[in-house]
Amino acid sequence: MENNPSSSSRTDRKTIERNRRNHMKALYSELNSLVPHQSSREVAASLPDQLDEAANYIKQLQTSLEEMKKKKDSLMGIERPGASTNSGVTVGLRLPQIEIQAIGFALKVIVITGLDFHFVFKETLRVLNNEGAEIINAGFSVVEDTVFHTIHAKVGESASMGDEVARISERLKKFVSDVNVI
């Protein structure tokens, strides 16, 4: 019996197709095992019915996840962008703002953020510390969804104090503008 190249390639294609079908069957079976079934059927559901059931289950999970996110946000007092309050006014996330005042050798830094930017206060303190400013006092107050951070710092008592204040101000303003881009 002669070995025909066309029959060999036909056998290879059949093997490849059989392997593909077996792989798909295993994937369908795995998907079906992940979906909870409402009724214990003695007859297995058809493949299209199994896929419909899986798609519906995924949609149900997505809806449930969104509801849980909303509940979490409401418990934490956070409004999502585009979410509306009861009055119909859209409340978004407040982006950080900074105001810096130099008074002699003292620096007063006011950072205004939303509840969602709590890391900005810590980073502002870090920048001041890295620039050699001595933190005298730091605090915050919360009004509705806005946090007002106030930092009083002392800058070195040298002739170049104006340069130090300008450098610190630029670093802080750059930091806040970078946060606003994110």
The CATH number that applies at residue 38 is 4.10.280
State which of 22, 45, 76 marks the end of a domain.
76
Task: Tell me, yes or no, whether 90 lies in a domain.
Answer: no
Same domain, 110 and 168: yes
**Residue-range definition of the domain harbouring residue 156:** 97-181
Same domain, 102 and 177: yes
Q: Are 148 and 112 in contact (CB under 8 A)?
A: yes
Task: Tell me, yes or no, whether 89 lies in a domain.
Answer: no
State which of 46, 76, 106 marks the end of a domain.
76
Same domain, 109 and 175: yes
Same domain, 70 and 35: yes
Same domain, 118 and 64: no
Query: How would DSSP label each residue in the chain?
Result: ----HHHHHHHHHHHHHHHHHHHHHHHHHHHHHHS--SS--SSPPPHHHHHHHHHHHHHHHHHHHHHHHHHHHHHHT---TT-B-TTS-B--PPPPEEEEEEETTEEEEEEEEETT-THHHHHHHHHHHHTTPEEEEEEEEEETTEEEEEEEEE---STTHHHHHHHHHHHHHHHHHHHHH-
Q: What pLDDT score does 131 carry?
A: 83
Task: Tell me, yes or no, whether 66 lies in a domain.
Answer: yes
Residues 6+ apart with CB under 8 A from 113: 94, 95, 96, 97, 120, 121, 146, 147, 149
Query: Model pTM?
Result: 0.45
State which of 43, 76, 109 marks the end of a domain.
76
Alpha-carbon distance of 124 to 143, in angstroms, equals: 20
- The segments of the chain whose pLDDT lies below 70 read 1-5, 38-43, 76-94, 118, 157-162, 180-182
Same domain, 171 and 113: yes
Q: Is 155 exposed, middle or buried (0-12, 13-18, 19+ CB in 10 A)?
A: buried
Same domain, 69 and 128: no
Same domain, 63 and 133: no
Q: Please state the domain count of the chain.
A: 2
Same domain, 112 and 157: yes
Same domain, 44 and 110: no
Task: Tell me, yes or no, whether 102 lies in a domain.
Answer: yes
Q: Kindly report the CATH number assigned to the domain that includes residue 123.
A: 3.30.70.260
Give pLDDT tens digits for 71-115.
887 776 655 554 444 444 334 456 788 888 887 778 898 888 887
Same domain, 174 and 115: yes
Same domain, 124 and 154: yes
Task: Tell me, yes or no, whether 81 lies in a domain.
Answer: no
Q: What pLDDT score does 71 carry?
A: 82
Q: What pLDDT score does 1 carry?
A: 47
